[in-house]
Structure 1
Amino acid sequence: MTDATPQDTTTDRMIDAILSHVPFDGWSDTAFREAVKDTGVDETLARGLFPRGARDLARAWHDRGDALMADRLAAEDLSAMRYTERVTHAVRLRIESISDKEALRRAMTQNALPLNAPDGARMLWHTADRIWTALGDTSEDYNWYTKRMTLSGVIGSTLLFWLGDETPGHQATWDFLDRRIADVMQFEKVKGRITSGPLGRVLSAPGSLLNMIRAPRRHDDLPGGRA
Protein backbone atom coordinates (compact mmCIF):
# COMPACT_ATOMS: atom_id res chain seq x y z
CA MET A 1 0.00 0.00 0.00
CA THR A 2 1.26 3.45 -0.89
CA ASP A 3 1.75 6.16 1.73
CA ALA A 4 -1.40 8.13 2.47
CA THR A 5 -1.67 11.60 0.94
CA PRO A 6 -3.27 14.57 2.75
CA GLN A 7 -6.38 14.03 0.62
CA ASP A 8 -6.50 10.35 1.65
CA THR A 9 -6.22 11.35 5.30
CA THR A 10 -9.02 13.88 4.97
CA THR A 11 -11.19 11.33 3.19
CA ASP A 12 -10.65 8.75 5.93
CA ARG A 13 -11.49 11.30 8.62
CA MET A 14 -14.66 12.30 6.80
CA ILE A 15 -15.72 8.68 6.29
CA ASP A 16 -15.17 7.81 9.95
CA ALA A 17 -17.07 10.91 11.03
CA ILE A 18 -20.10 10.43 8.80
CA LEU A 19 -20.49 6.77 9.81
CA SER A 20 -21.54 7.88 13.29
CA HIS A 21 -24.37 9.95 11.81
CA VAL A 22 -25.60 7.62 9.05
CA PRO A 23 -27.68 5.39 11.40
CA PHE A 24 -29.77 8.46 12.33
CA ASP A 25 -29.69 10.61 9.18
CA GLY A 26 -28.77 8.18 6.41
CA TRP A 27 -26.30 9.14 3.70
CA SER A 28 -27.80 12.63 3.63
CA ASP A 29 -26.61 16.20 3.42
CA THR A 30 -27.42 16.54 7.11
CA ALA A 31 -25.00 13.71 7.92
CA PHE A 32 -22.42 15.25 5.60
CA ARG A 33 -22.60 18.64 7.29
CA GLU A 34 -22.25 17.01 10.71
CA ALA A 35 -19.17 15.13 9.50
CA VAL A 36 -17.66 18.42 8.33
CA LYS A 37 -18.29 19.91 11.77
CA ASP A 38 -16.90 16.88 13.60
CA THR A 39 -13.65 16.81 11.61
CA GLY A 40 -13.13 20.55 11.41
CA VAL A 41 -12.46 20.22 7.69
CA ASP A 42 -13.07 23.44 5.78
CA GLU A 43 -16.49 23.10 4.15
CA THR A 44 -15.26 24.48 0.83
CA LEU A 45 -12.53 21.82 0.77
CA ALA A 46 -15.03 19.14 1.77
CA ARG A 47 -17.42 20.16 -1.01
CA GLY A 48 -14.52 20.20 -3.44
CA LEU A 49 -13.49 16.67 -2.53
CA PHE A 50 -17.07 15.40 -2.40
CA PRO A 51 -19.23 17.47 -4.80
CA ARG A 52 -22.27 15.25 -4.22
CA GLY A 53 -21.76 15.32 -0.47
CA ALA A 54 -22.77 12.13 1.30
CA ARG A 55 -23.21 10.23 -1.97
CA ASP A 56 -19.53 10.72 -2.77
CA LEU A 57 -18.55 9.84 0.79
CA ALA A 58 -20.55 6.60 0.48
CA ARG A 59 -18.59 5.83 -2.68
CA ALA A 60 -15.32 6.63 -0.87
CA TRP A 61 -16.35 4.30 1.97
CA HIS A 62 -17.06 1.57 -0.56
CA ASP A 63 -13.72 2.12 -2.30
CA ARG A 64 -11.91 1.96 1.05
CA GLY A 65 -13.47 -1.43 1.67
CA ASP A 66 -12.35 -2.61 -1.77
CA ALA A 67 -8.80 -1.46 -1.06
CA LEU A 68 -8.78 -3.23 2.32
CA MET A 69 -9.95 -6.43 0.68
CA ALA A 70 -7.27 -6.18 -2.03
CA ASP A 71 -4.56 -5.55 0.59
CA ARG A 72 -5.64 -8.60 2.58
CA LEU A 73 -5.66 -10.76 -0.52
CA ALA A 74 -2.19 -9.58 -1.51
CA ALA A 75 -0.86 -10.46 1.95
CA GLU A 76 -2.17 -14.04 1.86
CA ASP A 77 -0.80 -17.20 0.26
CA LEU A 78 -3.63 -18.52 -1.91
CA SER A 79 -1.57 -21.14 -3.73
CA ALA A 80 -3.23 -24.07 -1.94
CA MET A 81 -6.72 -22.90 -2.95
CA ARG A 82 -8.56 -23.86 -6.10
CA TYR A 83 -9.51 -20.90 -8.27
CA THR A 84 -13.14 -21.12 -7.21
CA GLU A 85 -12.09 -21.07 -3.57
CA ARG A 86 -10.01 -17.96 -4.19
CA VAL A 87 -12.98 -16.10 -5.64
CA THR A 88 -15.18 -17.18 -2.73
CA HIS A 89 -12.51 -16.16 -0.24
CA ALA A 90 -12.15 -12.74 -1.88
CA VAL A 91 -15.89 -12.05 -1.70
CA ARG A 92 -15.91 -13.13 1.95
CA LEU A 93 -12.97 -10.83 2.74
CA ARG A 94 -14.83 -7.96 1.09
CA ILE A 95 -17.93 -8.55 3.19
CA GLU A 96 -15.89 -8.95 6.36
CA SER A 97 -14.29 -5.57 5.72
CA ILE A 98 -17.68 -3.93 6.39
CA SER A 99 -17.74 -2.81 10.00
CA ASP A 100 -21.16 -1.15 9.97
CA LYS A 101 -24.18 -3.11 8.76
CA GLU A 102 -26.54 -0.20 9.24
CA ALA A 103 -24.41 2.07 7.06
CA LEU A 104 -24.51 -0.56 4.32
CA ARG A 105 -28.25 -1.06 4.74
CA ARG A 106 -28.81 2.69 4.37
CA ALA A 107 -26.53 2.82 1.32
CA MET A 108 -28.25 -0.10 -0.42
CA THR A 109 -31.67 1.36 0.30
CA GLN A 110 -30.57 4.64 -1.25
CA ASN A 111 -29.03 2.83 -4.23
CA ALA A 112 -32.35 1.11 -4.90
CA LEU A 113 -33.85 4.45 -5.92
CA PRO A 114 -33.98 4.84 -9.73
CA LEU A 115 -31.81 7.97 -9.68
CA ASN A 116 -29.07 6.23 -7.69
CA ALA A 117 -29.26 2.73 -9.19
CA PRO A 118 -26.49 3.33 -11.78
CA ASP A 119 -24.12 4.47 -9.02
CA GLY A 120 -24.88 1.36 -6.97
CA ALA A 121 -24.30 -0.87 -10.00
CA ARG A 122 -20.96 0.83 -10.65
CA MET A 123 -19.82 0.19 -7.08
CA LEU A 124 -20.66 -3.53 -7.31
CA TRP A 125 -18.93 -3.72 -10.69
CA HIS A 126 -15.86 -1.99 -9.29
CA THR A 127 -15.67 -4.50 -6.44
CA ALA A 128 -15.93 -7.40 -8.87
CA ASP A 129 -13.21 -5.81 -11.00
CA ARG A 130 -10.93 -5.39 -7.97
CA ILE A 131 -11.41 -9.05 -7.09
CA TRP A 132 -10.71 -10.39 -10.59
CA THR A 133 -7.73 -8.07 -10.97
CA ALA A 134 -6.32 -9.10 -7.57
CA LEU A 135 -6.67 -12.76 -8.56
CA GLY A 136 -4.71 -12.19 -11.76
CA ASP A 137 -7.48 -12.25 -14.37
CA THR A 138 -5.97 -11.84 -17.83
CA SER A 139 -9.16 -11.78 -19.89
CA GLU A 140 -8.95 -9.49 -22.91
CA ASP A 141 -12.20 -10.36 -24.70
CA TYR A 142 -15.90 -10.52 -23.82
CA ASN A 143 -15.04 -12.82 -20.90
CA TRP A 144 -13.68 -9.73 -19.12
CA TYR A 145 -17.23 -8.39 -19.00
CA THR A 146 -19.10 -11.63 -18.28
CA LYS A 147 -16.84 -12.44 -15.32
CA ARG A 148 -17.49 -9.07 -13.74
CA MET A 149 -21.19 -9.15 -14.54
CA THR A 150 -21.76 -12.53 -12.89
CA LEU A 151 -19.57 -11.75 -9.88
CA SER A 152 -21.35 -8.41 -9.37
CA GLY A 153 -24.60 -10.35 -9.09
CA VAL A 154 -23.07 -12.74 -6.57
CA ILE A 155 -21.71 -9.90 -4.44
CA GLY A 156 -24.98 -7.94 -4.48
CA SER A 157 -27.19 -10.90 -3.55
CA THR A 158 -24.77 -12.10 -0.86
CA LEU A 159 -24.65 -8.64 0.71
CA LEU A 160 -28.45 -8.56 0.89
CA PHE A 161 -28.47 -12.00 2.51
CA TRP A 162 -25.75 -10.96 4.97
CA LEU A 163 -27.73 -7.93 6.10
CA GLY A 164 -30.47 -10.19 7.42
CA ASP A 165 -28.26 -13.02 8.65
CA GLU A 166 -28.17 -13.49 12.41
CA THR A 167 -26.57 -16.95 12.49
CA PRO A 168 -23.37 -17.41 14.53
CA GLY A 169 -20.38 -16.18 12.55
CA HIS A 170 -22.73 -15.44 9.64
CA GLN A 171 -22.42 -19.08 8.64
CA ALA A 172 -25.68 -18.97 6.67
CA THR A 173 -24.18 -16.19 4.54
CA TRP A 174 -21.06 -18.19 3.73
CA ASP A 175 -23.21 -21.22 2.82
CA PHE A 176 -25.29 -18.96 0.58
CA LEU A 177 -22.13 -17.59 -1.01
CA ASP A 178 -20.88 -21.13 -1.71
CA ARG A 179 -24.13 -21.92 -3.51
CA ARG A 180 -24.01 -18.76 -5.59
CA ILE A 181 -20.41 -19.37 -6.63
CA ALA A 182 -21.39 -22.94 -7.58
CA ASP A 183 -24.15 -21.48 -9.77
CA VAL A 184 -21.60 -19.22 -11.46
CA MET A 185 -19.32 -22.18 -12.14
CA GLN A 186 -22.23 -23.99 -13.79
CA PHE A 187 -22.84 -20.92 -15.94
CA GLU A 188 -19.17 -20.88 -16.93
CA LYS A 189 -19.33 -24.56 -17.89
CA VAL A 190 -22.39 -23.98 -20.07
CA LYS A 191 -20.76 -20.92 -21.62
CA GLY A 192 -17.63 -22.94 -22.30
CA ARG A 193 -19.60 -25.67 -24.09
CA ILE A 194 -21.38 -23.10 -26.23
CA THR A 195 -18.28 -21.10 -27.16
CA SER A 196 -16.32 -24.25 -28.01
CA GLY A 197 -19.10 -25.59 -30.23
CA PRO A 198 -20.14 -24.65 -33.79
CA LEU A 199 -22.23 -21.67 -32.63
CA GLY A 200 -19.38 -20.34 -30.55
CA ARG A 201 -16.94 -20.59 -33.42
CA VAL A 202 -19.34 -18.61 -35.60
CA LEU A 203 -19.92 -15.94 -32.94
CA SER A 204 -16.21 -15.51 -32.25
CA ALA A 205 -14.98 -15.68 -35.84
CA PRO A 206 -12.90 -12.76 -37.16
CA GLY A 207 -15.15 -9.77 -37.79
CA SER A 208 -17.95 -11.07 -35.56
CA LEU A 209 -19.42 -9.08 -32.68
CA LEU A 210 -17.83 -11.20 -29.94
CA ASN A 211 -14.47 -11.06 -31.67
CA MET A 212 -14.56 -7.26 -31.61
CA ILE A 213 -15.31 -6.95 -27.86
CA ARG A 214 -12.21 -6.02 -25.89
CA ALA A 215 -11.52 -5.14 -22.27
CA PRO A 216 -11.25 -1.37 -21.62
CA ARG A 217 -7.73 0.04 -21.66
CA ARG A 218 -7.92 3.24 -19.67
CA HIS A 219 -8.94 4.28 -16.15
CA ASP A 220 -11.68 6.88 -16.45
CA ASP A 221 -15.42 6.41 -16.18
CA LEU A 222 -15.29 2.94 -17.67
CA PRO A 223 -16.37 -0.01 -15.48
CA GLY A 224 -12.87 -1.12 -14.53
CA GLY A 225 -9.99 -1.45 -16.94
CA ARG A 226 -6.36 -2.23 -17.49
CA ALA A 227 -3.40 -0.22 -16.17
Structure 2
Amino acid sequence: MTLSYETVKTQLLDAALAHVPFDGWSEATFQAAVRDTDVAPAVARSVCPRGAVDLAIAFHHRGDLAMLDRIKAQDMAEMKFREKVTAAVRFRIEVVTDKEAVRRGSTLFALPMHAADGAKLIWGTADHIWDALGDTSDDVNWYTKRATLSGVYSATILYWLGDDSPDNRATWDFLDRRIEDVMQVEKLKARVRKSPTLSRLMTCPNWVMSRIKAPAKMPKMALPGSWTAPRE
Protein backbone atom coordinates (compact mmCIF):
# COMPACT_ATOMS: atom_id res chain seq x y z
CA MET A 1 0.00 0.00 0.00
CA THR A 2 1.40 3.36 -1.06
CA LEU A 3 0.64 6.48 0.99
CA SER A 4 1.77 9.99 0.16
CA TYR A 5 3.73 12.03 2.67
CA GLU A 6 0.81 14.41 3.18
CA THR A 7 -1.68 11.56 3.58
CA VAL A 8 0.40 10.02 6.36
CA LYS A 9 0.75 13.37 8.14
CA THR A 10 -2.98 14.07 7.77
CA GLN A 11 -3.86 10.70 9.25
CA LEU A 12 -1.50 11.22 12.17
CA LEU A 13 -2.81 14.75 12.80
CA ASP A 14 -6.45 13.67 12.73
CA ALA A 15 -5.71 10.87 15.18
CA ALA A 16 -3.60 13.10 17.44
CA LEU A 17 -6.37 15.68 17.87
CA ALA A 18 -8.37 13.19 19.92
CA HIS A 19 -5.51 12.94 22.43
CA VAL A 20 -4.29 16.55 22.55
CA PRO A 21 -6.90 17.70 25.14
CA PHE A 22 -5.54 15.12 27.57
CA ASP A 23 -1.81 14.91 26.79
CA GLY A 24 -1.12 18.11 24.86
CA TRP A 25 1.19 18.10 21.86
CA SER A 26 3.43 15.54 23.52
CA GLU A 27 5.27 12.34 22.72
CA ALA A 28 2.42 10.42 24.36
CA THR A 29 0.00 11.99 21.89
CA PHE A 30 2.27 11.19 18.97
CA GLN A 31 2.64 7.55 19.99
CA ALA A 32 -1.13 7.25 20.47
CA ALA A 33 -1.68 8.68 16.98
CA VAL A 34 0.74 6.13 15.52
CA ARG A 35 -1.13 3.29 17.23
CA ASP A 36 -4.55 4.61 16.18
CA THR A 37 -3.58 4.90 12.51
CA ASP A 38 -1.51 1.71 12.24
CA VAL A 39 1.20 3.76 10.53
CA ALA A 40 4.55 2.04 10.84
CA PRO A 41 6.53 3.81 13.60
CA ALA A 42 9.54 4.28 11.30
CA VAL A 43 7.35 5.90 8.64
CA ALA A 44 5.63 8.11 11.20
CA ARG A 45 8.98 9.28 12.56
CA SER A 46 10.26 9.94 9.04
CA VAL A 47 7.22 12.11 8.29
CA CYS A 48 7.32 13.82 11.69
CA PRO A 49 10.94 13.74 12.96
CA ARG A 50 9.99 15.87 15.99
CA GLY A 51 6.83 13.94 16.68
CA ALA A 52 3.94 15.95 18.06
CA VAL A 53 5.73 19.26 17.48
CA ASP A 54 5.53 18.64 13.73
CA LEU A 55 1.87 17.72 14.10
CA ALA A 56 1.18 20.94 16.00
CA ILE A 57 2.83 22.86 13.16
CA ALA A 58 0.72 20.92 10.64
CA PHE A 59 -2.40 21.81 12.63
CA HIS A 60 -1.55 25.51 12.38
CA HIS A 61 -0.87 25.22 8.64
CA ARG A 62 -4.24 23.49 8.22
CA GLY A 63 -5.88 26.51 9.82
CA ASP A 64 -4.02 28.89 7.51
CA LEU A 65 -5.24 26.99 4.45
CA ALA A 66 -8.84 27.02 5.73
CA MET A 67 -8.53 30.78 6.30
CA LEU A 68 -7.31 31.31 2.73
CA ASP A 69 -10.28 29.35 1.43
CA ARG A 70 -12.59 31.64 3.42
CA ILE A 71 -10.88 34.74 2.05
CA LYS A 72 -11.18 33.47 -1.54
CA ALA A 73 -14.86 32.65 -1.06
CA GLN A 74 -15.69 36.03 0.49
CA ASP A 75 -16.71 39.02 -1.61
CA MET A 76 -14.56 41.83 -0.22
CA ALA A 77 -14.87 44.23 -3.14
CA GLU A 78 -16.87 46.79 -1.17
CA MET A 79 -14.79 46.57 2.02
CA LYS A 80 -12.27 49.16 3.12
CA PHE A 81 -8.77 47.77 3.49
CA ARG A 82 -8.82 47.82 7.29
CA GLU A 83 -12.08 45.88 7.14
CA LYS A 84 -10.45 43.28 4.90
CA VAL A 85 -7.58 42.81 7.34
CA THR A 86 -9.97 42.57 10.28
CA ALA A 87 -12.11 40.03 8.43
CA ALA A 88 -9.06 37.92 7.54
CA VAL A 89 -7.90 37.73 11.17
CA ARG A 90 -11.42 36.87 12.23
CA PHE A 91 -11.63 34.16 9.57
CA ARG A 92 -8.38 32.66 10.86
CA ILE A 93 -9.86 32.33 14.33
CA GLU A 94 -13.27 31.17 13.17
CA VAL A 95 -11.87 28.26 11.14
CA VAL A 96 -10.42 26.72 14.30
CA THR A 97 -12.30 23.51 14.96
CA ASP A 98 -10.54 22.63 18.21
CA LYS A 99 -9.95 25.48 20.65
CA GLU A 100 -8.19 23.22 23.14
CA ALA A 101 -5.68 22.19 20.47
CA VAL A 102 -4.84 25.88 19.95
CA ARG A 103 -4.56 26.40 23.71
CA ARG A 104 -2.18 23.45 24.00
CA GLY A 105 -0.26 24.71 20.99
CA SER A 106 0.16 28.13 22.59
CA THR A 107 1.64 26.42 25.64
CA LEU A 108 3.97 24.33 23.48
CA PHE A 109 5.28 27.24 21.43
CA ALA A 110 5.76 29.37 24.53
CA LEU A 111 8.53 26.99 25.60
CA PRO A 112 12.01 28.40 24.85
CA MET A 113 13.01 25.45 22.64
CA HIS A 114 9.94 25.91 20.43
CA ALA A 115 9.50 29.68 20.58
CA ALA A 116 11.17 30.18 17.18
CA ASP A 117 8.71 27.75 15.61
CA GLY A 118 5.80 29.63 17.17
CA ALA A 119 7.05 33.00 15.95
CA LYS A 120 7.54 31.57 12.45
CA LEU A 121 3.97 30.25 12.39
CA ILE A 122 2.48 33.58 13.46
CA TRP A 123 4.60 35.45 10.91
CA GLY A 124 3.50 32.94 8.28
CA THR A 125 -0.17 33.58 9.04
CA ALA A 126 0.35 37.33 8.71
CA ASP A 127 2.23 36.79 5.46
CA HIS A 128 -0.60 34.65 4.08
CA ILE A 129 -3.13 37.36 4.94
CA TRP A 130 -1.19 40.16 3.28
CA ASP A 131 -0.51 38.07 0.18
CA ALA A 132 -4.18 37.04 -0.07
CA LEU A 133 -5.26 40.68 0.20
CA GLY A 134 -2.98 41.66 -2.68
CA ASP A 135 -0.05 43.30 -0.88
CA THR A 136 2.62 44.26 -3.40
CA SER A 137 5.11 46.04 -1.12
CA ASP A 138 8.73 45.11 -1.79
CA ASP A 139 10.54 47.40 0.65
CA VAL A 140 10.69 47.82 4.42
CA ASN A 141 6.90 48.05 4.48
CA TRP A 142 6.81 44.34 3.61
CA TYR A 143 8.36 43.65 7.02
CA THR A 144 6.50 46.27 9.05
CA LYS A 145 3.10 45.14 7.76
CA ARG A 146 3.74 41.55 8.71
CA ALA A 147 5.34 42.40 12.04
CA THR A 148 2.41 44.62 12.99
CA LEU A 149 -0.20 42.09 11.93
CA SER A 150 1.68 39.32 13.73
CA GLY A 151 1.33 41.32 16.93
CA VAL A 152 -2.36 41.93 16.34
CA TYR A 153 -3.04 38.28 15.52
CA SER A 154 -1.09 36.82 18.45
CA ALA A 155 -2.68 39.23 20.94
CA THR A 156 -6.16 38.47 19.61
CA ILE A 157 -5.56 34.70 19.81
CA LEU A 158 -4.51 34.97 23.45
CA TYR A 159 -7.58 37.08 24.23
CA TRP A 160 -9.84 34.62 22.38
CA LEU A 161 -8.50 31.67 24.38
CA GLY A 162 -9.89 33.25 27.54
CA ASP A 163 -13.07 34.65 25.99
CA ASP A 164 -16.37 33.12 27.09
CA SER A 165 -18.64 35.86 25.71
CA PRO A 166 -21.55 34.90 23.42
CA ASP A 167 -20.31 34.34 19.84
CA ASN A 168 -16.86 35.62 20.90
CA ARG A 169 -18.22 39.16 20.82
CA ALA A 170 -15.55 40.38 23.26
CA THR A 171 -12.80 38.98 21.02
CA TRP A 172 -14.09 40.79 17.94
CA ASP A 173 -14.31 44.04 19.92
CA PHE A 174 -10.73 43.48 21.08
CA LEU A 175 -9.63 42.88 17.49
CA ASP A 176 -11.32 46.09 16.34
CA ARG A 177 -9.45 48.04 19.03
CA ARG A 178 -6.10 46.54 18.00
CA ILE A 179 -6.71 47.40 14.35
CA GLU A 180 -7.68 50.94 15.38
CA ASP A 181 -4.40 51.26 17.30
CA VAL A 182 -2.52 50.28 14.15
CA MET A 183 -4.45 52.82 12.10
CA GLN A 184 -3.52 55.56 14.56
CA VAL A 185 0.17 54.70 14.10
CA GLU A 186 -0.25 54.85 10.31
CA LYS A 187 -1.93 58.26 10.62
CA LEU A 188 0.99 59.48 12.74
CA LYS A 189 3.49 58.27 10.14
CA ALA A 190 1.52 60.12 7.44
CA ARG A 191 1.63 63.36 9.46
CA VAL A 192 5.39 63.00 9.90
CA ARG A 193 5.86 62.61 6.13
CA LYS A 194 3.77 65.74 5.49
CA SER A 195 5.59 67.86 8.07
CA PRO A 196 8.50 69.82 6.47
CA THR A 197 10.49 69.82 9.71
CA LEU A 198 9.92 66.19 10.73
CA SER A 199 10.35 64.89 7.20
CA ARG A 200 13.82 66.50 7.02
CA LEU A 201 14.76 64.86 10.33
CA MET A 202 13.74 61.52 8.87
CA THR A 203 15.76 61.93 5.67
CA CYS A 204 18.66 59.74 6.80
CA PRO A 205 16.55 57.01 8.45
CA ASN A 206 14.27 56.93 5.43
CA TRP A 207 17.26 56.53 3.10
CA VAL A 208 18.52 53.59 5.16
CA MET A 209 15.10 51.95 5.17
CA SER A 210 14.76 52.48 1.42
CA ARG A 211 17.71 50.11 0.98
CA ILE A 212 15.73 47.30 2.66
CA LYS A 213 13.99 44.99 0.22
CA ALA A 214 11.45 42.22 0.70
CA PRO A 215 12.83 38.68 0.36
CA ALA A 216 12.55 37.03 -3.01
CA LYS A 217 9.53 34.79 -3.36
CA MET A 218 10.33 31.17 -4.05
CA PRO A 219 8.12 29.54 -6.70
CA LYS A 220 5.63 27.04 -5.33
CA MET A 221 6.54 23.51 -6.32
CA ALA A 222 4.55 20.35 -5.90
CA LEU A 223 7.27 17.78 -5.45
CA PRO A 224 6.29 14.13 -5.84
CA GLY A 225 6.71 11.74 -2.99
CA SER A 226 5.10 8.71 -1.41
CA TRP A 227 5.61 6.02 1.17
CA THR A 228 5.35 2.37 0.30
CA ALA A 229 4.69 0.09 3.25
CA PRO A 230 7.12 -2.84 3.29
CA ARG A 231 5.74 -6.26 2.50
CA GLU A 232 5.41 -8.58 5.42
Q: Is the 8 A contact 1:129 1:148 kept in 2?
A: yes
> What corresponds to 1:198 in structure 2?
200
Q: Is the 8 A contact 1:27 1:54 kept in 2?
A: yes
**Alignment partner of 1:43 is 2:34:** no
Q: Is the 8 A contact 2:17 2:101 kept in 1?
A: yes
Structure 2 gaps of 5+ residues are: 220-232
> What corresponds to 1:224 in structure 2?
none
TM-score normalised by L of structure 2: 0.87
Higher relative contact order (CA 8 A, sep 6+): 2
For 1:189, give the aligned amino acid.
K
TM-score normalised by L of structure 1: 0.89
The structure number with the bigger radius of gyration is 2
Work out the CA distance in 2 between the residues paired with 1:131 and 1:161: 20
Structure 1 gaps of 5+ residues are: 221-227
> What corresponds to 1:136 in structure 2?
134
Q: For residues 3-61 of structure 1, give each alpha carbon's deviation from its aligned partner in whole angstroms, at most 9, with x where no partner exists.
A: xx932222222111111111111101110011111112222121111111111110011
For 1:159, give the aligned amino acid.
I
> What corresponds to 2:212 in structure 1?
213
Work out the CA distance in 2 between the residues paired with 1:74 and 1:198: 42
Q: Percent of aligned pairs with the same residue?
A: 54
Work out the CA distance in 2 between the residues paired with 1:42 and 1:191: 56
Q: For residues 157-209 of structure 1, give each alpha carbon's deviation from its aligned partner in whole angstroms, at most 9, with x where no partner exists.
A: 1011111111110000000000001111111222333355223333233xxx2
Q: Which stretch has the larger CA shift, 141-150 or 10-19?
A: 10-19
For 1:204, give the aligned amino acid.
N
Count of paired positions: 213
**Alignment partner of 1:177 is 2:175:** yes
For 1:202, give the aligned amino acid.
C
> What corresponds to 2:78 in structure 1?
80
For 2:128, give the aligned amino acid.
R
**Alignment partner of 1:21 is 2:19:** yes
